[in-house]
Structure 1
Amino acid sequence: MSVISAREFNRDVSAVKRAATHGPVIITDHGRPSHVLLTFADYQRLTGAGTSLGQAFVLAEEVDFEPVRPRDSLREIDL
């Protein structure tokens, strides 16, 4: 993993892009990490961005869900 300052990044963007092909490049601002440059393929692998929206919402397993109404909500009204 490479670390480069924002100033160095601005001077030679092409070199930083080439470095990102070998792994993430951390870009620092005033000595503190502020951004990470990745290849698009690495980004897709990490985020699953290559999947469709429908596939993103499919659960790996079934979940049982029974909502519980709080005691103080929607009480019956006595007229």
Structure 2
Amino acid sequence: MSIVSSWEFNRDVSAVKRAAANGPVIITDHGRPSHVLLSFADYQRLTGTAGSLGDVFVLDEDIDFEPVRPRDSLREVDL
């Protein structure tokens, strides 16, 4: 597990992303741990989700949505 300061993270994001490929990277702010960067594969193992990133955001239920415009918002178009 690697530890980098937020300054180091901002200075070289690519290097920190490469380090995250080998395990979680703790990002510190003023010497205290504030964030953890991990690969998506590690995230999937941690959360028990499998599949693509798009699958994570798919809802299991249908949502009916019919936008209704208030009557007073109708206006004529002046061409």
Q: Same fold (TM over 0.5)?
A: yes
TM-score of the two chains, using structure 1 as the length reference: 0.63
Give me the whole-angstrom Cα distance separating, in 2, the residues matched to 1:35 and 1:6: 9
Residue equivalent to 1:46: 46
Which residue is 1:3 aligned to?
Answer: 3
Gaps of 5+ in 2: 57-79
Match for 2:3: what amino acid?
V
**2:16 aligned partner:** 16
Question: Secondary structure in 2 aligned to 1:49?
Answer: coil
Which has the higher Rg, Structure 1 or Structure 2? 1
TM-score (norm 2): 0.63
Residue aligning to 1:28? 28
Runs of 4+ in 1 over 3 A off after TM superposition: none
Backbone CA RMSD of aligned residues:
1.7
Counterpart AA for 1:5: S
Amino acid at match of 1:42: D
Residue 60 of structure 1 is matched in structure 2 by none
Aligned residues: 53
Shift of 1:28: 0.2
**Alpha-carbon distance between aligned partners in 2 of 1:27 and 1:49, rounded to the nearest angstrom:** 24
Q: Displacement of 1:50 after TM fit?
A: 1.6
Identity %: 77
